[in-house]
Structure 1
């Protein structure tokens, strides 16, 4: 990590909170700088606390340099103790879906600055991507700190308008589920063509894994260029893509799905 906070409190160590915690430790954040607050930590987190020597559920703690909110969104109203942890010099990073910066500011009025982040599930394997939006008063150093912490789990993209976080949610936040569903659909299509279900599932999974890795490693090429590179004129892939790129094909379907996710994100934010 480019910079370490002198002190960090992680509120919530579930799937995403735990993934970020492991990434920070792996990147060299000193365990002594970390306190984790979770009323019901998993066995894995409890063991990690023992092995790594960070503090788990301290009886008291002072306002840290960074407070990361990874609790369930509905728990924010119940977590009155968090207000004491958000002091004038505290950077608050929230990954709470549907909770705007204004929502958080109302509950943590003394916080120095607030950054809202939307990571996604591949953060658990260091291949995530997070969209960030900073409160107007956040300093360059605070933005850099938020970026450094979130970059431990993958790529980071800042958006200028917080309202765009809902669009980030619709694309990358929910996006892994779309890809997983594509693998399901490929497997079902293979079985319908006569392949044994197990074989179809293995082929579908390996295809999605391999295509994703190729996309990752081919940074100089766009997805469209990669698609064109495996599409021979008049071949089998071209025949399939004629269906997928048709008027009722994949592009309008994904657009409708993303709009549905956006509307739901907006409703949750309201």
Structure 2
């Protein structure tokens, strides 16, 4: 491949870089533009610059891993690569294909993606969508780059990125909140705080791994744990009631999806 330019090397950008190198991407083919010295990578062979203005070669792919609020300024210099055929792969939440086209040119090759934070341990999932100008081969290259930190799905309809953001993009926070809530409930039931938190963390983490490895659907795994008339059934009667967990999640994801649309506007 040609040069790969990673713009921004925070937590997500750094996780992607680690994943690329672990999968055998040649370090000499990677240039990282990161103005903050404290988070610049120290990988042998990877060229690091403080600004994309120092990049003289035309990269095959530009990975945009900066915060959404920094994107306007970031794209000013990068526009020069759009006319030279570079593909732009964005992981910034809320920034649409139309947003990038307006700043890079309407013929620019743009892939918009929404990863999530388990990418840090290469267990993330990303949904991507591409502009019409992106070829199948270019989509494949972007797929390979995103796959370095987890699963990758593609959506033809960009509008799906809003509920995707609500479900998987924001979803890790919901899981962490679940751990907090379970631990707090355990403490109220009489457990020491540290024991309640350890039990909640291990239960959620272990259940997630079981779900990952199992071929059974989540609904069946739930049934497998639930003995008729037992303790789990008693708890699920509360959680699965009409005013239980489902309507709360419905409202939460709707709020997140609506906010994603607002940010895109």
| Structure 1 length-normalised TM | 0.93
Pairwise CA RMSD of aligned residues?
1.3
Matches for 1:174-253 after TM superposition, within 5 Å: 174-218=170-214, 220-253=215-248
Correspondence for 2:48: 56
1:74 lines up with 2:69 in the alignment = yes
Structure 1 runs (4+) greater than 6 angstroms displaced: none
8 Å Cα contact 2:9/2:41 also seen in 1 = no
Q: Offset at 1:42?
A: 2.7
Q: Offset at 1:95?
A: 0.9
Q: Offset at 1:111?
A: 6.2
Q: Offset at 1:107?
A: 1.3
Secondary structure, aligned partner of 1:68:
strand
Unaligned stretches of 5+ residues in structure 1: none
Note closer, same or farther for the CA distance 1:26–1:183 as it changes in structure 2 (3 Å cut): same
Secondary structure, aligned partner of 1:64:
coil
Q: Offset at 1:88?
A: 3.6
1:126 lines up with 2:122 in the alignment = yes
Note closer, same or farther for the CA distance 1:222–1:259 as it changes in structure 2 (3 Å cut): same
1:93 lines up with 2:89 in the alignment = yes
> After superposition, what is the alpha-carbon deviation per residue over 1:1-27, rounded to whole angstroms, capped at 9, x for unaligned?
xxxx32100011011111111110111
Correspondence for 1:27: 23
Of 117, 135, 140, 1:139 maps to 135
Q: Which moved more, 1:100-109 or 1:120-129?
A: 100-109
8 Å Cα contact 2:5/2:33 also seen in 1 = yes
Note closer, same or farther for the CA distance 1:33–1:87 as it changes in structure 2 (3 Å cut): farther
1:165 lines up with 2:161 in the alignment = yes
Q: Offset at 1:268?
A: 0.1
8 Å Cα contact 1:10/1:34 also seen in 2 = yes
| Structure 2 length-normalised TM | 0.95
Q: Offset at 1:112?
A: 4.4
Unaligned stretches of 5+ residues in structure 2: none
Correspondence for 1:42: 38
Correspondence for 2:99: 103
Note closer, same or farther for the CA distance 1:156–1:60 as it changes in structure 2 (3 Å cut): closer
Correspondence for 2:251: 256
Q: Offset at 1:89?
A: 1.9
